[in-house]
Amino acid sequence: MPRRESLKNLQREKNLFAGRIVVGAIICVLMSGGLLFRLSELQIQGHDYYTTRANDNRLRVVPVPPVRGLIYDRSGVVLAENRPAFGLEITPEQVDDMPALLAQIGGLVPLTESDIQRFNDRVARTPRYRGVPLRTHLSMEEVALLEVNRHDLRGAEVTAGLTRNYPMSIEGAHVVGYVGGITEADLQRIDTDSYQGLGQIGKAGLERFYEDRLRGTPGARIIEANAFGRPLREIEHRPGQAGQNLHLTLDAEVQAVAQAALGELNGAVVAIDPRSGEIIALVSKPGYEPHHFVEGIDAASYRTLLEDRNRPLFNRALQGQYPPGSTIKPAMAVAGLEHTVVDPEHREFCPGSMQLPGSIRQFRCWRRRGHGWMDMVSGVMQSCDIYFYQLALNLGIDLMHDSMQQFGLGNVTGIDLPLESAGLMPSRAWKRRTRGESWYPGETLIVGIGQGYTLATPLQMAHMTARLAMRGEGFPPHLLRETVDPVTQQRVTLSPAALPPITLRNPEHWSAVIQAMVDTAHKPGGTALRIGQNAPYLIAAKTGTAQVASLSQEDKVARTLEDTPVRLRDHALLVAFAPADNPQIAVAVLAEHAGSGSAVAAPVARKVMDQYLLGEVQYESPPPVIAPYTGELRNASGVVP
Amino acid sequence: MALIDVGGQRGNPTLSDWFERWHIDSWLLSLLLILSGFGMLMLYSASGHDFGAVGAQARRLGLGFVLMIVVAQAPPEWYRSGAGWLYGGTVLMLVLVLVLGDSAKGAQRWLDLGVIRFQPSELMKLAMPLAIAAYLHQRTLPPQLGSMAVTLILIAVPTGLVMVQPDLGTSLLVVAAGGFALFFAGLRWRWIVGAVALVAAAAPLLWLRLHDYQRGRILTLFDPERDPLGAGYHITQSKIAIGSGGGFGKGWLEGTQAKLDFLPEANTDFIFAVIAEELGLIGVVLLLLIYLAIVARGLIIALRAQDTFQRLLAAALTLKFFVYVFINIGMVIGLLPVVGVPLPLVSYGGTSAVSLLVGFGMLMSIQTNRKLLAN
């Protein structure tokens, strides 16, 4: 009985089991189908996406910073170069306890609060596997100390790189400029792709102006890295492109002579080759040490520089705006001759002062007792104000404005340096626009002697002189002569297009004015006699005086308080070119608070010209001193000796 | 066979005769050898061309194959009679593991027997279907309420012991091995549906009992970016490896994910990702076909088996094998939580390979002894 039952059960069980096997097989096939469906999602639809992610996983692009172009003067003297420098980098990914590591490093080498602050800021913005600089410009002792303790400093690495060095130091700072760390503000305006791997950017001077040529193009190393970011092998090396080397028109020796010739004075010297517009020297004193910026200037030092009353960061040569004073008179004479309001023989009587009809206001000549009868030559030579008041009256403000603009006043020269000021050549339209007032006849007179609203930069004065020297021909002032590719040696020479010439109906008038300037430098009674003394070449020159009041608001305050007399003294000006019969150099000198252009500015210009034309300074004179002030303070009307 | 007989010398045993004499199923043997060979090729790639690792794996597999053939020699009745002892002994060892087991990766799974370190939970994957099949063999099927209750207790005790080790992956396989035996015994569908409903209801309770890292793995499964550097990292990197393999793969030894250490545990639980990266969808489909062929052979053996014990044992072992494959691949491709389940006979590691091959030895015993009886 049990046996029959179990036999019956056996068949039933077999059928039941077979059914379950079929169900089990179906389940296996369905589940496998599910796996395959998911796999095809990943491997077919998701293939491109995951391929990208796999490459992202393993490939690291490490930028290779390009070598920055060098800067040379006209004879090959290096003005900006690259020097090896050591820094300390930390890769956050490899660090377990950052504060502890920083404390440990701080025990070995000096770390300032700002170092750490800057480091933390950059860590927040950088991928964790990238090294972030903590210190730059490590000394050899510091490098050794860090290397010895290397095993304790996991994640920290001493890196070798290049840093900018300026052999001319302070003397070149205002021309060459400097590079500095890329700031948040820089990031707003630059294409960050061009700066991969680079920490620095041109901040001032030529470094800033020619940033795009100097920088070069970064290269890249494509590196296969493992999951821990450790590089395993280089898959590709795309070389970057080194920056272009700049060869300047600047003459480092002339620059140094000009710098030295100013002595203790603050001021500016600009020397131009009038035949080409090439800048031979461009000095602004005082200067500053560019390396402080390269190494990352701290806030306190920067504030000290900004608040220095001598304004060392201010480039007087192209940013400083001064009344050109009497240096404008030769150009005014050209305008007067051209517009036939005078001819070379035309004479005016100088009694020492004059009045406009219907006005009681006195317009005085710098020489209180007057010059007597003056013609064009003696008017220039003795810088007679009355002669030029009359000339200005005859020309009128409109013709004066247009003529002086032809000489470059009131407009930027377009020099290849940043932040050039435009100066000001006033006109009726300008006054209406800015002051809402009409032009007064009295204002015309003082414009004729380079005062009143007239403002010019030392660069503009040198440029104006160069155009006089070239009898109306001229080129835009510029510092770059050619760029040379450091790899291919390919040269690109820059030859700026000539400016539209100033044409006179009677070209002889140029000779007349230039003769007047030569007399100024060489004939007894000339105001610039000091420059012409024993010169082996002919010099054409003109002195001038710039009033202090317009330098800055601060000085005006000082003036009303009358607390610092030296600071109220006029600035001495002198423009000159030489040789007068074959001009090769045009110079403008501004010496702040020096009082007399003749006593102080003339020797500076002469030394510059000696150096350039003769290769040495032959001129001997006592070192420039602040000459005793003989003039008088101007009254509020701004009439000037 | 006939062809060989015609040309062959009388009295000389053919290959087929030889297999029969040694109780070897040629289908299973061929498929398992192909799978193991394939596994060692992939291990060579995944381990970064480490001949040492491949050699060690070859020795383990060799031991496994020898054990498989040894096990195949014994008639199925022996296993039935020994099932109760094996089950009881293994449960005892699981208790011992909890008391004095070795800790590895924060879980107590190993028993150090001096000579070898031994994982009793692995043995349970064999003992469980043996015990259930042996028990149900003595009962009328489909199982009645009483025998079902006993079976559930037999399943629950070791499962619980493995879970507290804790080893979620193995406990799943232990449950599966026992549960499948019950399923193939004809467990009524209403009970199955009821059990699923119960599990669904109990899930929240179970959730609370899980360790934090286990919960993390499950949460991470649904949102790998939740913890991209921690638990989600495995899944993310595994998906990158698989997806970047595409249809045809990057080529053997050409995968980058494992070679550059992005893929964790590339030798062991995640070796499937290496296969998918290097051989692509084509290679993965081939691998699945090998697995399905083995499963098919196992189900055929079960279907032909001659008594309830043999049927239930063969079917449960086969399905357990498939669940192994499914859980491993499912977790590597991000369908299932990351639990420690190796890819059968491919992942680096000895215990699971040996226990699987012993299981296949039992299948061979069932298959070849049936033939002898039939003859």
Give the model confidence (pLDDT) of A246-285 as tens digits: 999 999 999 999 999 998 899 999 999 999 999 999 999 9
Least confident of A222-231, A375-384, B303-312: A222-231
Say if residue B97's pLDDT is above 90: no
Say if residue B4's pLDDT is above 80: no
- What is the arithmetic mean of pLDDT over A494-505? 92
Nearest CA in chain A to B278: A43
Of B243, B295, B299, the CB nearest to A49: B243
Residue pLDDT, tens place only, B41-72: 999 999 888 899 999 999 999 999 999 999 99
pLDDT computed for residue B21 by the predictor? 84
Nearest to B46 by CA among B255, B232, B280: B255
Q: Which two tokens stand for residue A401?
A: 């404005």
- Answer yes or no: are the C-beta atoms of A67 and A243 closer than 8 Å: yes
Q: How many CB atoms lie within 10 A of CB A432?
A: 12
Distance in Å, alpha carbon of A251 to nearest chain B alpha carbon: 58
The residues near A120 (Cβ < 8 Å, ≥ 6 apart) are: none
pLDDT computed for residue B57 by the predictor? 92
pLDDT computed for residue A229 by the predictor? 67
- Cα–Cα distance measured from residue B157 to residue A109, given in angstroms and rounded to the nearest whole number: 65
Q: In this structure, what DSSP letter does residue A241 have?
A: B
Say if residue A527's pLDDT is above 90: no
Q: Which residues pair with A284 in a beta bridge?
A: A268
Write out the H or E segment, with its range, that includes residue A455.
none
* Subunit contact A43:B246, Cβ cutoff 8 A: yes
Nearest CA in chain B to A230: B260
Residue pLDDT, tens place only, A385-415: 999 999 999 999 999 999 999 999 999 999 9
Nearest to B275 by CA among B302, B251, B307: B251
- Cα–Cα distance measured from residue B153 to residue B277, given in angstroms and rounded to the nearest whole number: 43
Residue pLDDT, tens place only, A318-348: 999 999 999 999 999 999 999 988 888 899 9
Q: Is B198 on the interface with A (CB under 8 A)?
A: no
Distance in Å, alpha carbon of A98 to nearest chain B alpha carbon: 20
Q: Which residues pair with A424 in a beta bridge?
A: A455
pLDDT computed for residue A563 by the predictor? 42
Of B183, B281, B329, the CB nearest to A43: B281
Q: Is B256 on the interface with A (CB under 8 A)?
A: yes
Q: Is B191 on the interface with A (CB under 8 A)?
A: no
Nearest to A45 by CA among B239, B338, B257: B239
Nearest CA in chain A to B241: A54
pLDDT computed for residue A560 by the predictor? 39
- Cα–Cα distance measured from residue A312 to residue A140, given in angstroms and rounded to the nearest whole number: 32
- Cα–Cα distance measured from residue A547 to residue A330, given in angstroms and rounded to the nearest whole number: 19
Mean pLDDT of chain B: 85
Amino acid identity, position B239: K
pLDDT computed for residue A557 by the predictor? 43
Write out the H or E segment, with its range, that includes residue A36.
helix A2-40
- Cα–Cα distance measured from residue A312 to residue A301, given in angstroms and rounded to the nearest whole number: 13
* Subunit contact A39:B260, Cβ cutoff 8 A: no
Mean pLDDT of chain A: 86
Q: Is A15 on the interface with B (CB under 8 A)?
A: no
Q: If you compute the radius of gyration of chain B from its CA atoms, what whole number of angstroms results?
A: 21
Nearest to A520 by CA among A529, A531, A530: A529
Residue A62, classed as helix, strand or coil, is strand
**Chain A positions in Cβ-Cβ contact with residue B280 (cut-off 8 Å):** 43
Q: How many CB pairs under 8 A join A and B?
A: 131
- Which is more confident, B92 or A637? B92
The residues near B58 (Cβ < 8 Å, ≥ 6 apart) are: B40
Least confident of A179-183, A420-424, A596-600: A596-600
Alpha carbon B86 to its chain centroid, in Å, reads: 18
Say if residue A107's pLDDT is above 60: yes
Q: Which residues pair with A480 in a beta bridge?
A: A248
Q: Which long-range contacts (CB under 8 A, 24 or more apart) does B255-260 make?
A: B255/B45, B256/A54, B256/A57, B256/A58, B256/A224, B257/A54, B257/A57, B258/B45, B258/B46, B258/B48, B259/B48, B260/A57, B260/A58, B260/A224, B260/A225, B260/A226, B260/A227, B260/A232
| % of chain B at pLDDT higher than 70 | 87
Say if residue B104's pLDDT is above 60: no
Phi-psi region of B334 (alpha: psi -120 to 50; beta: other; left: phi over 0): left
Per-residue confidence at A625, pLDDT binned at 50, 70, 90?
very low
- What is the arithmetic mean of pLDDT over B161-186? 86
Say if residue A2's pLDDT is above 60: no
Residue pLDDT, tens place only, A348-371: 999 988 988 877 888 888 888 889
Q: Show the DSSP H helices in A86-139 as ranges.
A: 98-108, 113-125
Mutant choice from B262, B336, B341 vs A, greatest count of A C-beta within 10 A: B262
Q: How many CB atoms lie within 10 A of CB A199?
A: 17
Amino acid identity, position B212: D
Say if residue B197's pLDDT is above 80: yes
- Which is more confident, A337 or A227? A337
pLDDT computed for residue A401 by the predictor? 95
* Subunit contact B311:A29, Cβ cutoff 8 A: no
pLDDT computed for residue B227 by the predictor? 63
Residue pLDDT, tens place only, A176-191: 999 988 888 888 888 8
The top-scoring range by mean pLDDT among A524-533, A603-612, B346-355 is A603-612
Position of tokens 């398992």?
B32
- What is the arithmetic mean of pLDDT over A276-296? 92
Residue pLDDT, tens place only, A136-158: 888 888 989 888 888 888 888 88
- Which is more confident, B190 or A114? B190
Least confident of A517-521, B138-142, B190-194, B237-241: B138-142
Say if residue A550's pLDDT is above 60: no
pLDDT computed for residue A597 by the predictor? 67
A101, HSE (Cβ side, Cα atoms, 13 Å): 23
| % of chain B at pLDDT higher than 90 | 44
Per-residue confidence at B309, pLDDT binned at 50, 70, 90?
very high
The residues near B264 (Cβ < 8 Å, ≥ 6 apart) are: B233, B234, B237, B270
* Subunit contact A28:B260, Cβ cutoff 8 A: no
The residues near A521 (Cβ < 8 Å, ≥ 6 apart) are: A528, A529, A531, A532, A535, A538, A539, A540, A541, A576
Mapped to the 3 state alphabet, what secondary structure does A161-228 carry?
EEEEECCCHHHHHHHHCEEEECCHHHHHHCCHHHHCCCCEEEEEHHHHHCHHHHHCECEEEEEEECCC
Position of tokens 């000085």?
A555
First to last CA, chain A: 147
Mutant choice from A35, A41, A45, A129 vs B, greatest count of B C-beta within 10 A: A35
Is A598 an active-site residue? no
**Chain A positions in Cβ-Cβ contact with residue B242 (cut-off 8 Å):** 39, 42-43, 50
- Cα–Cα distance measured from residue B168 to residue B160, given in angstroms and rounded to the nearest whole number: 10
- Cα–Cα distance measured from residue A132 to residue A112, given in angstroms and rounded to the nearest whole number: 16
- Which is more confident, A50 or B115? A50
Q: Is A230 on the interface with B (CB under 8 A)?
A: no
pLDDT computed for residue B266 by the predictor? 84
pLDDT computed for residue A15 by the predictor? 87
- The answer to whether the pTM exceeds 0.90 is no
- Answer yes or no: are the C-beta atoms of A405 and A452 closer than 8 Å: no
Q: Is B228 on the interface with A (CB under 8 A)?
A: no
- Which is more confident, B236 or A622? B236
Distance in Å, alpha carbon of A30 to nearest chain B alpha carbon: 11
Of A17, A42, A51, the CB nearest to B184: A17
Nearest to A617 by CA among A250, A267, A261, A273: A261
* Subunit contact B315:A16, Cβ cutoff 8 A: no
Q: How far is CA B93 from CA A620, B109, B152, in A?
A: 110, 11, 20
**Chain A positions in Cβ-Cβ contact with residue B186 (cut-off 8 Å):** 13, 16-17, 20
What are the percentages of helix, strand and coil residues in chain A, rounded to 5?
A: 45, 20, 35
- What is the arithmetic mean of pLDDT over B335-346? 87
Position of tokens 């491993």?
B328
**Chain A positions in Cβ-Cβ contact with residue B317 (cut-off 8 Å):** none
pLDDT computed for residue A632 by the predictor? 37
Q: Is B296 on the interface with A (CB under 8 A)?
A: yes
Say if residue B222's pLDDT is above 80: no
pLDDT computed for residue A626 by the predictor? 41
Q: Which two tokens stand for residue B356?
A: 């699987």
pLDDT computed for residue B8 by the predictor? 42
Phi/psi for A83 (5° steps) reads -125, 145
Residue pLDDT, tens place only, B246-268: 999 988 888 888 878 788 888 88
- Answer yes or no: are the C-beta atoms of B322 and B291 closer than 8 Å: yes
Q: Is A222 on the interface with B (CB under 8 A)?
A: no
- Answer yes or no: are the C-beta atoms of A78 and A70 closer than 8 Å: yes
Which one from A40, A114, A301, A326 is the annotated catalytic residue?
Answer: A326
- Which is more confident, A621 or B155? B155
Nearest to B245 by CA among B281, B214, B269, B212: B281
Say if residue B374's pLDDT is above 60: no
Q: Is A435 on the interface with B (CB under 8 A)?
A: no
* Subunit contact B140:A9, Cβ cutoff 8 A: yes
Q: If you compute the radius of gyration of chain A from its CA atoms, what whole number of angstroms results?
A: 37
The residues near A395 (Cβ < 8 Å, ≥ 6 apart) are: A332, A335, A336, A339, A341, A403, A448
Q: How far is CA A521 from CA A60, A294, A589, A621, in A?
A: 69, 44, 15, 16
Q: Is B246 on the interface with A (CB under 8 A)?
A: yes
- Cα–Cα distance measured from residue B348 to residue B168, given in angstroms and rounded to the nearest whole number: 19
Phi/psi for B37 (5° steps) reads -60, -45
Say if residue B216's pLDDT is above 90: no
